[in-house]
Amino acid sequence: MRHTFPEAYQIFTVVDQEKIIALTMTVRVNDHILYNFLCGDLPDYRVYSPVVMLMDRVYQHCQRENIRILDLGISLDGNGVHKPSLSRFKKNIGGKECLKMTYEITFR
């Protein structure tokens, strides 16, 4: 998808010299919404909170581009279970909880 729609996907990084220690991929949904699609960091660097620095860069990008909503996504673990620590992190960096509507069609 990133190769097909390069204008919609952007990668932000935090580096230690030449080593990437945190990375996130964002998707530009429209002129006013940026979705934080995928985020990760190296465990050895977590004591330095590289994801906080990373999200600061994404936030600054949103300000420069007049993006009104930075969608931080859902707070689930790898098994699809709510992850309270991730919710707390998102709140601590300024995020607000909102309702996530899910639509489905059941085929018989």
50-71 pLDDT, tens digit per residue, is 999 999 999 999 999 999 999 9
The percent of residues in the chain predicted with pLDDT above 70, rounded, is 100
- When pLDDT is averaged across residues 83-106 and rounded to a whole number, the result is 88
> What is the predicted pLDDT for the residue at 74?
85
Q: Which of 2-6, 27-31, 99-103 has the lowest mean pLDDT?
A: 99-103
CATH, domain range 9-92 = 3.40.630.30
What is residue 78's predicted lDDT score, i.e. its pLDDT?
Answer: 82
Nearest to 91 by CA among 68, 108, 75, 69: 75
Domain edges within the chain: 9-92
Does position 47 have pLDDT exceeding 90, yes or no?
yes
Answer for the pair 12, 61: CB distance below 8 angstroms, yes or no: yes
